[in-house]
Structures are given as C-alpha cells and as structure tokens.
Amino acid sequence: MADGWKQTWKDILNALRGENAKEVERKLESEEQLPSEDAGNLQAADPAFGEAASQEVQNTLLEVVLPKPSADTIQPIESDKDPEEREVSPTPQSTAGGRRRISNVILYVILACMLIVGLWFSGGNQLLARWLAPAPPAPDVIATFSGGQISTTDLEEHLKLLVPEEYQAIAQSPDLLIQVVDDLLMDELARRWAEQRQPDRDEEFSHTMQHISEGINLESLDTQLHENDIPVAESDIQNYYQKNKAQFGDQPLDAVREQIRQQLVAEKEKGYIEEYIQRLKDNASITRSFELLDVPAPSEDDLRRTYDTNLSQFKLPRQFIIDELQFPVGTDEAASRKNADDALLKLRSGATFEEVAKAMLQSNLTSGALVSEGSGDPAWERSVLDLTEGETSDIFRAGDSFHIVRLNEVKPARTQSFDEVRSAILTLAQQQKTEEWFQANGMKTLFTIKGKQYTLGSFYKEYKELTVDLQAQYSGSKGMRDLAEQLIERLLLVEDSYDQLLNTQNKPLTDEARLQVIKQMLHQEEIDDQIQVTDEEMLKFYNENPNLLTLPAQARIRYIRIGLGSSEDEMKAAQTRADEAYRKLAPGILQKGADFAQIAQEYSEDPESAAQGGEYPGWVGESEDLMTEIQLHPFHEKILTLGLNEISRPFQVDGSLYIVQVLERTEPEKLSFEKAKPYLQEYMTQQKHGQLLSQLSQKLFTQYNVVLFESVLQNYFNNIISTPATAGGMGN
C-alpha cells in the first residue's frame, strides 16, 4: 500500500481516537458532580472507562486515587433509625467527607491524564489506541465506508485472484494484507466514481477493455492447450526417462512423470499451436485486401516539401573541436589543483596533451572531441567560448573537476543541406505519407473473417499502439502484411476462446482488470490533468543534479542465437553448433570470415532476426526498467565490451548461446538541458503525481467516511499464521 494511503488511514483513525479520548475526559470530569461512596460507585459513574481500560490499570488507579478508609472517615450506620430520618441534614463530618471525595475525584482525573500521557510517550500509545479505537460493527468487518463495508470473506475472495506464490507472501505479512484491503477500498471508491463518470461510453475505455479481455482469454486458452490438449503418449514419457536417467538420479519414473510430460509438451507446443491455428483458418471464411497496406513511396517533390517544412530540425549550433585534460577534484582539492598546475606548465613548455596525459595518470584525456554549443556545463562553455582557435585555456573549474582545454577549430552554426539529411527527410516524408494514406483509406475493408469486416483504420490503430521497436519491426509493406496476418490469427483464437466459454470462466479476472483501468482513469482525470511541470522547475533540478542525467552507452548489433535445450546431449550439440558458426565467421588471422548475414540465416534459431541477417531492430544498452535490466544485464555487459565490428565468441545468457557483432555504438553522453527535458518532465511528473495521489486518497477517504479496523485484520492474520493449511491457499 502506498505510504499516502497508510498515512490517510492513520490520520482518520487518530482523529477518531482523539474524539474518543476527549469523550473519556469529558466523562471523567463529570465525576465531580456524581456522589460516590466507594470505588465501586466511582467505576459505576464512568462505565465507559471501566470497559475500555484493563483491570490491572483500573486497580492501580483506584489504589492511588482513593485513600484507605480510617476511623475518622468511617461513619456508623444507624440501622435503628427510620430511613427517612437518616442524613436529613449533613453533619460537619459528612460535609468534610464529601469535599474529600470530590478532591479525590479531581486527583483521579489528573493522575489518569498523567497516565495517558505517560503511556503515549513511553511506547504504550498502541495499547491506548486499541482502547480508544472504534469498535467494528461485526467481528469479521475489516473496514467500513459510506453505504458499505469490507469483510474477511471479501478479502479471501480477492486473494483467490492472486497466484499462489503471491498469496504465500501476503499470508506472511500484515502490511501486505493491508495493501490488499487498500486495493479493495479503492475498488469500491472507484465504482462510486464510475457510476457518475460512466466510462463505458468512452471509446478508448471500451477499446482497452476489449484488449484486456481478449488477452486474459488467450492466456487461458494457451494454458488449456498446454495442459490438456497437446497429447503425450506414455511410451514417449518412458523413452525420455530411459534416455535421460542420469539427469533424474535415483528418482523413479512416477516421481518425475509430470516433469517429463511438461518437457515433452513444451517441445511439441510450437508445432501443435501452428497446426491448431491453421485448422482455425481452414474452417473460417477469410478474405484479404492486403494491397491496401502498400503505401506509395514519397516523390521527390514530397521530399523537398518535407525538408522546407522541417528546416528548423536541420540547424546545427556552433561546434568546437577540442583537446582537454580533466583533473577530478575527489577528496583532495589541493592535490588536484597542483596536478593541473603541473600539467599546464608542461603544456606551456611545448608538451602535447597526449604526452602530458601519459605522464600524469591522475588526468583524463579527451582528444579531438566535437562539442556542440549548449550541450555542456554552462561554466565550462563560458571558459571555452573565450578562446581563439589554437589557444589553450588557463586552468578553470567546472563541476567536480579542474579543466585545461585547447580549442583546435570552431565550426560556425549552419543549416544542413538537403543532400546531407536526405535519409532523415525520407523517413519523415514516409511517415507523413503513411499517415495521410491510412486516414484517406481508413474506412476500406482490409480483411473479413466469417463475414465480419475489419477496416484499414482499425488495423492502423492497432499498429500505432505497438511499441516503437515493434513499429519499426513491422514497418513497410511486408512488415504490415505480417502484422495483419497475426491479427487475423489473434481474432480467430479470441473467437475460439469465446466458443469455449472461457470469457465466462475468466469474468472475475476481467472485472478486476476493469476496476484497475477505472482507477487509472480516475487518476488521469483527478490528478494527471492537473499536473504541470514548468521549464523553470526542470532547469532548477537540472542545475542541482548535474551528474544524474547521462545516457548510457548503446550499441546496434546483429546476432546469432542457439538454444541450449534441456538435456546434456542437447547442450553439447548446441555448443558444437555455436563453435562451428563462430569458426566460419572468424576462421583465422590470414583468412576471410564468412558473411555474418548468411551464417545467421543458417544457424540462428530466431527466424525473424535471421531473415534480416541477424540484425536487431533498435539499440541495445542498459535499460531504465530495473526488472528488464536485471534479466538482460549480462547480455548488455558483454556487448558493451566489444569493439566496433568485432565478433564475439559464443557466450551464454540464460538458456541460449549468442554470437554478436557490433555494427555501431555510442559512448555515455551527458545530456544537455534540451535533451534532458523529456526525462526531467517524466521524473518530475511522477513526483507530483505521488503528491496529488496522496491528497486525492485523503479526500476520498474523508468523503466516504472510510474506517479501518486494524484489530479485525490482526486477528485474521493471526488465524492464518496459526492454521498452516490456510496459509497454503484459500479453501484448503
């Protein structure tokens, strides 16, 4: 659960507890007006306190507050008098006793308040909170809100939607259980919001939900095919067991039968799915008008118009070719400055930058670098802009280093010519032509399935929703035809899942997904549309964090992938095959290697990249996505150690062997403010999103009077821990 939600619950509960504390104090103060003869009367005058406090604390308070009776304070009971005659008028003794009793009550209140404060500051605040917390309306009610409540049964049903591994983690943590309750509460509040917003009328919402529903059904269909429909003969299982006995050790066949079956299913799956889809195609009436995907190429006039329209994109700022020695300050600024002074003295004496760098290992040399105006540290640029061609600067500090720079050449600002940027213009013109083509022909039918039409506009909408890498992969006439064929296959599988009533079986998951989308819409309309990040805010962050905004090195590659398989024999065969491919690519010093594209087509087990000569569509490098980077880091790390055009020896990542050639690479680049702005915009938007989400949470919880009963949730958690069968999953 987000900290904002946690804090909101605590704020609400503390407010409620504060009211209860005041109510107790008010009742205690009213004791002064109540006659009480002994401890029993005192407790009876304040039953709320007697019920809330523990007996041990009550006894302690009563022992301290009420003095022990003495002969002076005990009055004889005149039982022989008429009841109506007793204590008609107070005696001096009884009046004093009454004042003493009132003073005792005042002392009681003071000591009670002192005890409360003492408990709070000595760590007893949790105990006090439990005394003062509102009672749940029923033993199984975890939370209430205006017009509804969440029970432990609701919690269990929600947990059933989670996979067992996730449930195991939740069952061991009260905090994770609170997260689930938080999700349930937000579901309810989102439903209230959706009743007014009516998102089903929104075209984008309906489109998104259609894709989500289809995805859930297709995953369920894939599981069903994998587990039930792909046949594996008993003889195949036994043969596999006999051939791979060393792999299973002393385990009998019965112990590994299901493991072997799953392995054989996985081996058969690809061919079986292809046959399954082909059967669906054969039984469906399909017409295709894929010629609509042949977007005309832009003419020369189109290119010229594109160049003129986008002239500002082809302007180059003033550029400098420089040599530089850099001395990091580190922990000893004085030593760094002395090294820089020594280096400058050598340079003034006629040494070259390269010679100084070799003699002074503490320096970092940059030689012949091309630097664009506006791309570096402002302090660095101010020092370099004052130089003339051929001049070497004095020592200056910029960022965390001392610098000495020689300005070799200045290239004035200019606009690139048409011929220089022809390839970029062609890309822009083709994109514009494609947009115009699909807009003009969007209502035409691209294909039909069983009489149901699918328009070119609908197809292009699907294409535009792909990631940038996939759009590049499916660009052009051939790529779009491949994508259209895959779309036909997807629609056939979706229809088959409906025929098998998988949509009904998966309704709980679909409903849950719908609520998640509604919550995203709620955030969009209530939070995201309010967020504004100004250039001034981004520039301030940029200047305060100069070392954070650096693009990692990247490479454009082509590769060969060979799967290792699962058995020892398969692994040996894969290694032999990879070594054979590498020997053909790098046969020796005096021999010319084979064409990489040809070897990729022959050896690589990635058919799509092999058809493109092994080329990967896009750049490879460290990912901003932590989970992706954890998985792919060994691959990235190996690639970034290769030189340009170098071919790697076969190396293993996960279950495959790779041979990689680097075609192009970039070095780490410290971003200029203009280049950093998209990253700054996203980062600062997320920061403001979190702040506004916390405010929205508090607003909704207050608006719908949300109350969480932590004691019920704690009892539920204790029951899970004490019942091992339950901890393994609901319903066991």
Percentage of the chain beyond pLDDT 90 is 19
Write out pLDDT tens, residues 638-678.
Answer: 777 788 888 888 988 877 899 999 888 777 777 778 778 88
Kindly give, in sequence order, each residue whose CB lies less than 8 Å from that of residue 169, ignoring residues fewer than 6 positions away.
176
Q: Is the dihedral of CA 139, 141, 145, 148 positive or negative?
A: negative
Which pair of structure tokens corresponds to residue 677? 């702005």
Question: Hey, where are the domains in the chain?
Answer: 3-132, 203-282, 286-305+419-503, 318-412, 550-670
Write out pLDDT tens, residues 65-109.
Answer: 333 334 343 344 343 444 444 444 444 444 444 444 445 555 555
Which whole number is the average pLDDT over 336-363?
92
Q: Which of 46-60, 141-155, 225-239, 268-282 has the lowest mean pLDDT?
A: 46-60
Check residue 175 and report its DSSP letter.
H
Kindly give, in sequence order, each residue whose CB lies less than 8 Å from that of residue 8, ignoring residues fewer than 6 positions away.
694, 697, 698, 701
Pairing relationship of beta strands 550-551 and 669-670 according to DSSP bridges: antiparallel
Determine contact, residues 353/343, Cβ cutoff 8 Å.
no
Nearest CA to 373 out of 162, 629, 117, 673 is that of 673
Say if 318-412 and 550-670 have the same CATH topology. Answer: yes
Which whole number is the average pLDDT over 257-283?
80
Determine contact, residues 560/584, Cβ cutoff 8 Å.
no
In whole angstroms, what is the distance from residue 109 CA to residue 61 CA?
10
Which pair of structure tokens corresponds to residue 628? 């992706």
Determine contact, residues 345/301, Cβ cutoff 8 Å.
no
- The per-residue pLDDT of the chain, averaged, comes to 75
Which whole number is the average pLDDT over 402-428?
92
Write out pLDDT tens, residues 600-614.
Answer: 988 998 887 888 888
Which whole number is the average pLDDT over 629-637?
58
Q: Give me the pLDDT at residue 66, please.
A: 33
In whole angstroms, what is the distance from residue 317 CA to residue 373 CA?
6
| Higher-confidence position of 92 and 428 | 428
Q: Give me the pLDDT at residue 306, please.
A: 93
Write out pLDDT tens, residues 129-140.
Answer: 444 567 888 989
Q: Give me the pLDDT at residue 88, please.
A: 42
Helix H or strand E segment including 392: none
* pLDDT band at residue 2 using 50, 70 and 90 as cut-offs: very low
Sequence-separated contacts (24+) of 412-420 with Cβ below 8 Å = 412/318, 413/315, 413/316, 413/317, 413/318, 413/373, 414/315, 414/316, 415/311, 415/314, 415/315, 415/316, 416/314, 416/315, 416/316, 418/303, 418/304, 418/307, 420/314
In order of 93, 246, 493, 505, 655, the CA distances from 265 in angstroms are: 98, 21, 20, 24, 18
Kindly give, in sequence order, each residue whose CB lies less than 8 Å from that of residue 593, ignoring residues fewer than 6 positions away.
584, 585, 586, 587, 647
Which pair of structure tokens corresponds to residue 72? 């002076």
Q: Give me the pLDDT at residue 236, please.
A: 85
Residue 77, CB half-sphere, CA atoms under 13 Å: how many? 2
* pLDDT band at residue 50 using 50, 70 and 90 as cut-offs: very low
| Higher-confidence position of 319 and 126 | 319
Compute the CA torsion angle 59, 60, 65, 66 (nearest 10 deg).
40
Q: Which fold has domain 318-412?
A: Chitinase A; domain 3 (3.10.50)
Q: Give me the pLDDT at residue 353, please.
A: 94
Q: Give me the pLDDT at residue 168, please.
A: 55
User: Does the structure show a pLDDT above 80 at 60?
Assistant: no
Which whole number is the average pLDDT over 424-436?
91
What is the model's pTM?
A: 0.48
| Higher-confidence position of 559 and 198 | 559
Q: Which of 85-89, 162-166, 304-308, 453-457 has the lowest mean pLDDT?
A: 85-89
| Higher-confidence position of 484 and 28 | 484
| Higher-confidence position of 274 and 480 | 480
Write out pLDDT tens, residues 303-335.
Answer: 999 999 999 889 989 998 999 999 988 788 999
| Higher-confidence position of 578 and 621 | 578
Encode 638-654: b = buried (16+ Cβ within 10 Å), e = exposed.
bbbebeeeebbebebbe
Q: Give me the pLDDT at residue 616, please.
A: 85
Q: Note the CATH number of domain 550-670.
A: 3.10.50.40
